[in-house]
Amino acid sequence: MNRLYHSPLSPFSRKVRLSLAEKKIEVELFEERYWERGQEFLRRNPAGKIPILKMDGRLMADSTAICEYLEEKYPNPALMPADPEGRFEVRRLVAWFDDKFHPEVTVKLLGERVNKRLMNQGYPDSINIKEGAKAIKFHIDYMTWLLDHRRWLAGDSMTLADFAAAAQLSCLDYISDVDWNRSEVVKDWYAKIKSRPAFRSLLADQISIRAPADHYADLDF
């Protein structure tokens, strides 16, 4: 059986969970308390990060490397366009959400409000929260601009770029940190992706220290 070492509110794990589910690849989820840096965990991934996918007896780390591997190994349904320009745009946007949105928004909001408490790392820093709340507006506006021109973030079909974005936003939606009233097109895009069967397991996630926002699992939010 395939196994994914993950954490419920880890956006990088969610990106991989969405790809696996969309491709109907069965996987057993194993919750990893990665901040405890257990020996077994570091043996599985010396980089000390989740997600880690165990598949066909092999251990694989790094969400983007995993998603690209899954795409090559299980090309249907396709989560990457066929043309090089389209593939470039997907990769650019995946990097945008992983390397820019994540540190500017997710780390500052979810990191302060939830992860610090979960990991016993003290109290939330209000300056970081303010910065995260300001940055998410810029990102929603950028997504609005993209979606004003395209059906999905990278073009006319749903791709890994949409999963990278939805993975980050869904973690923030769990703690009610997304102002869906800021953009109708972003809200419509999220409603569309949220209603996919692949999203179901994410909407059932719960963490012990905090219940999800009331609307979190609601498809008509």
Ligand X SMILES: N[C@@H](CCC(=O)N[C@@H](CS)C(=O)NCC(=O)O)C(=O)O
Binding site for ligand X (CB under 6 A): 10-12, 34, 48-51, 62-64, 98
Task: Considering the complex, state which of residue 49 and residue 182 has its C-beta at the smaller distance from ligand X.
Answer: 49
Report, in Å, the least distance between residue 66 CB and ligand X. Answer: 7
Task: Considering the complex, state which of residue 51 and residue 81 has its C-beta at the smaller distance from ligand X.
Answer: 51
Q: How would you class 126 by CB atoms within 10 Å of its CB: exposed for 0-12, middle for 13-18, buried for 19 or more?
A: exposed
The full DSSP string for the chain is --EEEE-TT-HHHHHHHHHHHHTT---EEEE--GGG--HHHHHH-TT--S-EEEETTEEEE-HHHHHHHHHHH--SS-SS-SSHHHHHHHHHHHHHIIIIIIIIIIIIIIIIIIIHHHTT--S--HHHHHHHHHHHHHHHHHHHHHHHH-SBTTBSS--HHHHHHHHHHHHHHHTT---GGG-HHHHHHHHHHHTSGGGHHHHT--BTTBPPPTTTT-TT-
Report, in Å, the least distance between residue 82 CB and ligand X. Answer: 24
Report, in Å, the least distance between residue 165 CB and ligand X. Answer: 14
Phi, psi of 76 (to 5 degrees): -115, 130
Report, in Å, the least distance between residue 148 CB and ligand X. Answer: 28
Report, in Å, the least distance between residue 38 CB and ligand X. Answer: 12
Task: Considering the complex, state which of residue 62 and residue 89 has its C-beta at the smaller distance from ligand X.
Answer: 62
Task: Considering the complex, state which of residue 64 and residue 157 has its C-beta at the smaller distance from ligand X.
Answer: 64
Task: Considering the complex, state which of residue 51 and residue 212 has its C-beta at the smaller distance from ligand X.
Answer: 51
Residues 162, 146 contacting (CB under 8 angstroms): no
Task: Considering the complex, state which of residue 11 and residue 212 has its C-beta at the smaller distance from ligand X.
Answer: 11
State whether the Cα torsion 145-147-148-150 is positive or negative.
positive
Report, in Å, the least distance between residue 21 CB and ligand X. Answer: 17
Task: Considering the complex, state which of residue 7 and residue 183 has its C-beta at the smaller distance from ligand X.
Answer: 7
Report, in Å, the least distance between residue 22 CB and ligand X. Answer: 18
